[in-house]
Structure 1
């Protein structure tokens, strides 16, 4: 009868108990503090996304490593100027002073309204109501600059040709030109109880509300806001 070799001839045998302990540790669920943090982030993203459309769905991707408990978590969006759609990064300030910050990745899906072209649009064409159609779908799957406001798009001009049925994006449109480069313009300066008007030359083209540079007769260059055809105002 063959006997098993002594444990000294099997060096790996002494690691077996440790392997069992490691498996038990890996099976331990995340601490309740981590779950509370994820719930707070999920509620924050749901509130942020609700203004964009209906039925927001939030999928969180927590980091694999466990960190110390995050007390008084305060989520925020590092890129606040962008709508929270698609894959986003979420920051969380921890503690009353917010000295520690964590970052999580998330997927945000929202059903909402966006705009498509109803027909082929030529470069330089001004968009009317019949040129656009409203669609509904997952906004997170659209380009980041996809337009959703019909009234804001009507009256704008296509920078280039657009195919029919194409998602309309902000960078594809511009405001109608009210001032052209080299135009003679009237420049107004307003203040408490006074109004001064001078003539100048537009150094840039632009539409209503845009700010451009204007050269005066004495060669000074000012920045002014377009308020009408060949009319600008210097804001205080």
Structure 2
């Protein structure tokens, strides 16, 4: 039984004192439960954190990962196996990470993270006109948080140099994939050679390109017989039929 000093009890109804004691006892009882819920997700959190670090360490010099903890009501995730829900984009900014749980990987849950990577990316060093073929002196590196960039931003100069500007690009602008395109190796209306080959044959025909085409793009070609087929650009003026 709890005994309170007389000076504390003066002027306070007994039922209030009892309520305060019960509330204090309940809060103390919740502390071990909260710690237990954090502990049961430690392996999951560590697994996802390490996974994101491995996926991003090559992108920049400094990586900061803020991972939102799962609900304490969820069961423990055994043998966590993280994966990116969007394989086509670098894990930057707000990222959703899937985690397969259990030895049979039947249970899947998702965690949200904020990933900041400090690194270099490419911007225009000067105003680039539409239709210009981009050279190295038109570009410069800039350091910053890659997570603030558009998912379409291009960070490697080799992926930009030699490409054609599809639109005007202002100085200081980060280069994005839809700003540039590979140069055309085939022009619409051009006479081209179309090659079809297999293990024991090779046939070539001449036709007319019905579309512009860059390296590895598939375009339509019309032959003198009025036959139309699709072939892949392999070099200037030459296409290949894929079987």
Output the TM-score relative to the length of structure 1: 0.87
Consecutive unaligned residues of structure 2, counting only runs of 5 or more, are 1-10
Change (3 A) 1:118 1:217: same
Change (3 A) 1:14 1:5: closer
Q: How does 1:7-86 map to 2 (within 5 A)?
A: 17=22, 21=26, 24-25=29-30, 28-29=34-35, 30-86=37-93
- Cα deviation, residue 85, structure 1: 0.8
Aligned to 1:121, the other structure's residue is in SS state: coil
CA distance in 1, matches of 2:207, 2:128: 35
Q: How does 1:166-205 map to 2 (within 5 A)?
A: 166-205=173-212
- Cα deviation, residue 102, structure 1: 0.7
- Cα deviation, residue 167, structure 1: 0.7
- Cα deviation, residue 211, structure 1: 1.6
User: Which of 91, 94, 100 is the matching residue for 1:87?
Assistant: 94
- Cα deviation, residue 178, structure 1: 1.5
Aligned partners of 2:100 and 2:107 also within 8 Å:
yes
Change (3 A) 1:5 1:55: closer
Consecutive unaligned residues of structure 1, counting only runs of 5 or more, are none
Q: How does 1:103-118 map to 2 (within 5 A)?
A: 103-118=110-125
Partner of residue 216, structure 1: 223
Partner of residue 128, structure 2: 121
CA distance in 2, matches of 1:23, 1:202: 78
Residues 1:145 and 2:152 aligned together: yes
- Cα deviation, residue 196, structure 1: 0.9
Residues 1:130 and 2:137 aligned together: yes
- Cα deviation, residue 83, structure 1: 0.7
Residue by residue over 1:113-149, the C-alpha shift from the partner in whole angstroms, topping out at 9 and shown as x without a partner, is 2111010011101101110112222211111111111
Partner of residue 237, structure 2: 230
- Greater mean alpha carbon deviation, residues 14-23 or residues 42-51: 14-23
- Cα deviation, residue 191, structure 1: 1.9
- Cα deviation, residue 224, structure 1: 1.3
Residue by residue over 1:20-48, the C-alpha shift from the partner in whole angstroms, topping out at 9 and shown as x without a partner, is 52674267223422011101100010001
- Greater mean alpha carbon deviation, residues 201-210 or residues 128-137: 201-210
CA distance in 1, matches of 2:224, 2:30: 79
Output the TM-score relative to the length of structure 2: 0.85
Aligned to 2:214, the other structure's residue is in SS state: coil
